[in-house]
A and B are shown apart, each in its own frame.
Chain A
């Protein structure tokens, strides 16, 4: 995961802009001066591959990831997150992410609970529950 992205999320957790019961407690005990070391450490780790459990669902997700949904105005995820899901400082890496986590975050963006990126809120609000599941399945295998 990109160092700049990680650092920004740590700051969001600390300021309360991003909500998570577990992180809210933990982040209180971490000095802000250590945020950049943490971001640096995690960004240097070698990413582990994820696992696709449902190839048929992943194929649906692939189409959506690469082409979007022109009917509902969902852009292709690949536009920002890159075709290989590697991401960058603005848009996080999705490749290999756990299905449950991707699904949870998409849900949080959809409901507005996570609003750290307005673009992503707009995108998630256009996604159906089935589309979210398909996408989560696909990116796990990237």
Chain B
């Protein structure tokens, strides 16, 4: 987090000088801080804004047509569950889609800067984090769980946690309670370089995975305890 804090300071200085949002220009990418976690202006502004859950709930109206009321997502995995996700992860993903660092054409118009300002991002993130995570999410077929567990514990648990709890401090998403088909789809597009904003270490690890490996891990993740 030391690098991250230093990076914030540099950004704050640059923002003070430029005083404007830049949608595309990467402002600062440190040598040891890979682009996946780049601190660009709208993201820093959202991270520095004080989020308010009541305002976030009101703004979330434009998201619930897809992510559903209380952000439970869809059991078929077409839209992820956002309830209970870490604030840092939600901010990163929202602003990454907003600035097209994460490819998501379906969501792009709804998170556009014309519609969602950094303050809105902060508000929505706080609101979503506080929502309850229930155990009625989509699960995999359950036919290759031992293999999934083996791979998860070897390659994934270090960052995403033994219980799939992720890390707010490290921007690692919580994966427990997430719909199976979403976990499956995102893992595949991260492996195939189509999502673009994943941690490079994850891309390296998952590159070796077959479709079957990925399905097994996604299935295992979908069965992690929802409220550890």
Which A residues form the contact surface with B (CB < 8 A)? 68, 70, 73, 75-80, 118-119, 121-122
Contact A122 B110 (CB under 8 A): yes
- Count B interface residues, CB 8 Å: 18
Complexed CA–CA distance, A122 and B62 (Å) = 12
Interface of B is mostly: loop
B15 at the interface (CB under 8 A from A): no
Complexed CA–CA distance, A119 and B65 (Å) = 12
21 contacts between A and B (CB under 8 A): A68-B66, A70-B66, A70-B76, A70-B79, A75-B66, A75-B110, A77-B65, A78-B65, A79-B62, A79-B65, A79-B66, A80-B61, A80-B65, A118-B112, A118-B115, A119-B109, A119-B110, A119-B115, A121-B109, A122-B109, A122-B110
**Quick one: closest B residue to A126, CB to CB?**
B106
A68 to chain B, nearest CB (A): 6
B115 to chain A, nearest CB (A): 6
B106-149: CB near A (< 8 Å → 1, else 0) gives 10011010110000000000000000000000000000000000
* Chain A positions within 8 Å of B112 at CB level: 118
Q: Knowing A79-B65, A80-B65 touch, does A118 contact B74 (C-beta < 8 A)?
A: no
B78 at the interface (CB under 8 A from A): yes
Complexed CA–CA distance, A39 and B74 (Å) = 39
Contact B109 A79 (CB under 8 A): no
B72 to chain A, nearest CB (A): 13
B27 to chain A, nearest CB (A): 26
For A75, give its contact among B65, B76, B105, B114 (CB under 8 Å).
B65
Which B residues form the contact surface with A (CB < 8 A)? 61-66, 68, 74, 76, 78-79, 105-106, 109-110, 112, 114-115
* Chain A positions within 8 Å of B110 at CB level: 75, 119, 122
A17 to chain B, nearest CB (A): 14
* Chain A positions within 8 Å of B78 at CB level: 70
Complexed CA–CA distance, A132 and B3 (Å) = 51
Contact B64 A79 (CB under 8 A): yes
Complexed CA–CA distance, A62 and B124 (Å) = 28
Interface centre among A68, A75, A77, A121 (most CB of B within 10 A): A75
Interface centre among B65, B105, B110, B112 (most CB of A within 10 A): B65
